[in-house]
Amino acid sequence: MQNSTPDFKWIITPHKQKDLSGSKAMFPVEVSRTARRFHRQIPGYQMSPLASLPNLAAMFNVGGIWVKDEASRLELNSFKVLGGSFALYRFIQNRLGISDEKMNYNYLISKEVKEQLGEITFASATDGNHGRGIAWAAQKLGHPCVIYVHSETSKRRIDAIRGYGAVVKVIEGNYDDAVRQIVVDAAKYGWEIISDTSWEGYTQVPTWIMQGYSTMMAEIQEQFSAQGIARPTHVFVQAGVGALAASVIGYYHSLCGENAPKCIVVEPEDAACLYESAKTEHKDIVQVDGDLDTIMAGLACGSPSELAWNILKETVDAFVSVPDYTAAKGMRVYATPLKGDPFIISGESGAVTLGALLSILKSNGAEELRDFLKIDENSQVLLINTEGNTDPALFRQIIWEGSNPVPKEYWYDEDKR
């Protein structure tokens, strides 16, 4: 059921009965326990906040708006380190044949393990945050790291990756071109690819990365429980290749079954590969070509992860495609909260779900989507701020200079709500 307003598009994907087999197989409760047990051993680990925006929720007649704020995750300002570090944990565990009971962080970074493994170079392609996470984890383990980025990646993001000792190579083209090139070069030089996207014959590492993200979900459920909330009623999650979205949505469908929250995936309009895939009759994977030009660097992906798509096509309730100014608005709302709500530092990829939520709640022409989602005074809406200020120059352009403004015809008018 495809539709649009003048400033965003959506597809409602009703399921007669959701196929939960993929979610339950990939995200059993034991996996999140293992991932969280590992992450807790990393020096500097602490649970990231689950912030409440009660006054913003009241303004839009919503029961609660909750933001899992990954801007404070370790020293990397992004959730990505959870997936990358857990994938390297599983990789080394698998290579050495060591059980979970015997594995721990100190042993993982020990000289003994490095001698057993020999010289390994870890490699990946990235839009920024994933590459930083892999470089950080490889540095902790004492192994070389090579990261490929596409030609539109900002110097700030490249320097941040190099800051953790990685060799960074800029590839002409977009993110998908960088992925294709690292596959070729890794085979040539004997590197081990740690990628969050999957392709034919390459699924194990992306599975580990997605399972690593489940630490965040286990934290969220613990934090909701402390508030007397069993689970959110709605989850908005941003998507690039779909790994995070599949992790969040797969986790909730594994945990809650048919009682899972309504799940909405949000993408930039110029890199909406999941939205385009959902449009097809049989939900076939669609690749979006072109330069994928969007301020949401972490979401500028043209090819869905097949592994992630197999979960998302069976569980997502709506796919939403939005322009860049939606993300910029989300950043500004987080940065200038209503009195009494917390101040949240969010990058463009982190803030797009807030912008999308507010657009859905107020836009003329979105009545069909609002009626389907049924977001009201009893709803508890979960958003994930996936990154903090990871590109300071762009952050200032949006917050200070007002770049990517919302067109005046879409301004929120309190007198007309």
CA-based torsion, 353, 355, 356, 361: positive or negative? positive
Cα separation of 68 and 63, whole Å? Answer: 17
Backbone angles phi, psi at 248, to 5 degrees: -65, -50
127 included as an active-site residue: yes
Among candidate residues 7, 69, 127, 324, the one labeled active-site is 127
Among candidate residues 9, 68, 80, 329, the one labeled active-site is 80
80 included as an active-site residue: yes
| Cβ-contact 176, 148 below 8 angstroms | no
Cα separation of 161 and 159, whole Å? Answer: 5
Angle in degrees, CA 79, 46, 113, rounded to 5: 80
Cα separation of 364 and 331, whole Å? Answer: 22
Cα separation of 299 and 350, whole Å? Answer: 10
Within 163-298, residue ranges assigned H as helices are 175-189, 204-212, 214-226, 243-256, 273-279
Cα separation of 203 and 70, whole Å? Answer: 26
Q: Which residues are catalytic?
A: 80, 127
